[in-house]
Chain A
Amino acid sequence: MTVTFPQKGLPWLLLLPQLLVTAIFFLWPAEQALEQAFYQEDAFGLSREFIGLENFIDLFTDPLYYQSMLTTLVFSFSVAIVGMSLALFLAVMADRVIRGKLAYQTLLIWPYAVAPVLAGVLWWILFDPSMGPIALWLKSAGVDWNHYLDGNQAMILVVIASTWKQISYNFLFFLAGLQAVPRSLIEAAAIDGASPFKRFWTIVFPLLSPTTFFLLVVNLVYAFFETFGVIDATTKGGPGQSTTTLVYKVFDDGFVGLDLGGSAAQSVVLMAIVGLMTVIQFRFIERKVQYS
């Protein structure tokens, strides 16, 4: 128990700015979303009527919404798995080398600082069907690359751009995890004649599982909420709906489609999902304490 100060009014004064900002810019809009989800508003915002659960019923009977859910799942798991595998591979290599470790780290972590929308633009130009070097190279290899028309290719493009940005983060955490594996265990296995490959799969990888699980959650959250810029810059959710994730759909239906009630209902569903993910993350943190 920490020793405390006796003042009664002062703590409220200290909390006031945080609580004010939270109330005005978080709780009020959340309440508005909740309210709006039960109304239907005309496109000009002039009148609205109470329609009960209809927005939610519309939402859950809309095949496009389920498609968007599926798109989100495919996108998020692709980003998480591709990004984590590549980063783990690089981290294992970086853990092995003795010279230049810090230099390698520096040269691998900087994409973290690049804004998602800029990452999208950079990869877009590489894959542009009419002038991008990679697209032209693919064409000469017999792959007809055009992400404006082919939904799967559009998905591959947004996954690449989003993964590129996240590798740095995964790399740092995997490297820290690898450096925490006790040397004596690995030495003992080496004396028993286990090859580096076998040592990795039977000792190091299982010991990394807390890090791996933690990164999986963080990567999924990242792919869910922070990749808006990538999608907006490269595909705008298209072609068709092939790269419209749930978060992009909230924006698209609300600001482009002007379906305020539907967008609000989606916001409410998303808030529930975020709440669930936060709880999972926190339960995991309790477990992490036990591991260490």
Chain B
Amino acid sequence: MIENRPWLTFASHATLLLGIGLVALPVWMALVASTHPASAFGVGHIPLWFGDAGAETWGTVLFEEAGNGVDTPVWFMMLNSLIMALGITFGKIVISLLSAYAIVFFRFPCRNLCFWIIFMTLMLPVEVRIVPTYEVVANLDLLNSYTGLTLPLIASATATFLFRQCFLSIPGELVEAARIDGAGPWRFFFDILLPLSRTNIAALFVILFIYGWNQYLWPLLITTDDAYYTLVMSIKRMLSVTDGDIAWNQIMATTLLAMLPPVAVVIGMQKLFVKGLVDSEK
């Protein structure tokens, strides 16, 4: 505190509260909307206070069917989303750990070339090369499968860079000591490297989980079978019902359920989340 200006402090708190209110506004409205019966939306405006159909809507959406043309219940799509998100997260972390380990702790021909090939994936987000990637996955017969949902998304330059950075900061004496004590590369990897990069892995896990859960275009294109619908992309299918027939209460409840897991992760693991965000932009 540099000087005491009570009115300015008050104004700061007021602005922050206003900001929080504005940020929360759409979610509040969605919550209110999900507690009204579908018929309440035809009369010209969204009700502004909670109704009494909340339990029924949420129950139907979660356990029976999401509605609006999607017959699968939300819990089932949540499971698919979870499988995809965890598959992408673990896949990215494992292959990035291994390749960063190879690049930092070994010398071999074409080491730089490999590094640049991995680096190039940074330049090619999936949205940019969407048509040819779809064709490749179709050729490999991976449409409508968990492999097709996860595998094309698990190459990650960012994670490789992050681990490379982290490994480079490990003192060479540690490697020397381990070698003198007779530890081979695998032993070194599991007993020294992994424990040392524990927090980095955890921070990256948070960021990648959000990334995986929120995938939209990719699952939308490659799944046509209900059994593989993920929650985030199913919103699109729910919205493609003709305008007058949309049951907004169910859409709002599904939307809230779809954002709940990643938001809970951010709030519950705030420290790791912030660390992951800052690290992965270095």
State A114–B107 Cα separation when bound (angstroms). 42
Chain A binding site: helix, strand, loop or mixed by DSSP? helix
State A251–B126 Cα separation when bound (angstroms). 11
- Interface hit among B58-66, B71-79, B197-205, B273-281: B273-281
Identify which of B96, B129, B263 contacts A30 (C-beta below 8 A): B129
State A33–B8 Cα separation when bound (angstroms). 57
Is B175 within 8 A of A2, CB to CB?
yes
Closest chain A CB from B229 CB (angstroms) = 14
State A119–B216 Cα separation when bound (angstroms). 12
Is A22 within 8 A of B155, CB to CB?
yes
Is B127 within 8 A of A247, CB to CB?
yes
Identify which of B121, B216, B221 contacts A229 (C-beta below 8 A): B216
Is B101 within 8 A of A18, CB to CB?
no
Is B239 within 8 A of A18, CB to CB?
no
Is B8 within 8 A of A2, CB to CB?
no
Closest chain B CB from A224 CB (angstroms) = 9
Known contacts A5-B105, A14-B99: A107-B185 contact under CB 8 Å: no
State A247–B267 Cα separation when bound (angstroms). 31
Contacts of B258 in A (CB 8 A): 115, 118
Tell me the chain B residues, 228-244 only, with Cβ under 8 Å from chain A.
232-233, 235-236, 239
Task: Tell me if B55 is interfacial: C-beta within 8 Å of chain A.
Answer: no
State A110–B23 Cα separation when bound (angstroms). 9
Task: Tell me if A73 is interfacial: C-beta within 8 Å of chain B.
Answer: no
Contacts of B26 in A (CB 8 A): 119, 122-123, 125-126, 164
Task: Tell me if A172 is interfacial: C-beta within 8 Å of chain B.
Answer: yes
Is A167 within 8 A of B175, CB to CB?
no
Look across to chain A and name the residue whose beta carbon is closest to the beta carbon of B115: A15
Is B132 within 8 A of A267, CB to CB?
yes
Tell me the chain A residues, 95-125 only, with Cβ under 8 Å from chain B.
96-98, 100, 104-119, 121-123, 125
State A3–B94 Cα separation when bound (angstroms). 23
Task: Tell me if A156 is interfacial: C-beta within 8 Å of chain B.
Answer: no
Look across to chain B and name the residue whose beta carbon is closest to the beta carbon of A258: B131
Most chain A CB within a 10 A radius of its CB, from B160, B217, B221: B217
Is A98 within 8 A of B23, CB to CB?
no
Known contacts A196-B5, A247-B127: A8-B108 contact under CB 8 Å: yes
Task: Tell me if A89 is interfacial: C-beta within 8 Å of chain B.
Answer: yes
Contacts of B103 in A (CB 8 A): 11, 15
Is A15 within 8 A of B124, CB to CB?
no
Contacts of B144 in A (CB 8 A): none
Look across to chain A and name the residue whose beta carbon is closest to the beta carbon of B96: A18
Task: Tell me if B143 is interfacial: C-beta within 8 Å of chain A.
Answer: no
Chain B binding site: helix, strand, loop or mixed by DSSP? helix
How many positions in chain A have a CB within 8 Å of any CB in the partner chain? 97
Is B128 within 8 A of A267, CB to CB?
yes
Contacts of A12 in B (CB 8 A): 102, 108
Closest chain B CB from A291 CB (angstroms) = 14
Identify which of B117, B213, B216, B252 contacts A22 (C-beta below 8 A): B117
Is B168 within 8 A of A22, CB to CB?
no
Contacts of B194 in A (CB 8 A): none
Task: Tell me if B196 is interfacial: C-beta within 8 Å of chain A.
Answer: no
Contacts of A164 in B (CB 8 A): 23, 26
Closest chain A CB from B166 CB (angstroms) = 12
State A93–B131 Cα separation when bound (angstroms). 45
State A249–B262 Cα separation when bound (angstroms). 29
Is A29 within 8 A of B135, CB to CB?
yes
State A29–B131 Cα separation when bound (angstroms). 8
Is B1 within 8 A of A98, CB to CB?
yes
State A275–B2 Cα separation when bound (angstroms). 45
Is A11 within 8 A of B129, CB to CB?
no
Contacts of B216 in A (CB 8 A): 115-117, 228-229, 232
Is B263 within 8 A of A25, CB to CB?
no
Look across to chain B and name the residue whose beta carbon is closest to the beta carbon of A113: B262
- Interface hit among A54-62, A63-71, A74-82, A131-139: A131-139
Beyond A167-B23, A228-B217, list 4 extra A-B contacts (CB 8 Å). Answer: A3-B172, A21-B151, A25-B152, A225-B127
Can you show 11 pairs from A to B with CB atoms below 8 A apart? A2-B172, A4-B175, A90-B16, A96-B9, A108-B20, A118-B255, A125-B46, A263-B131, A267-B130, A275-B123, A278-B122
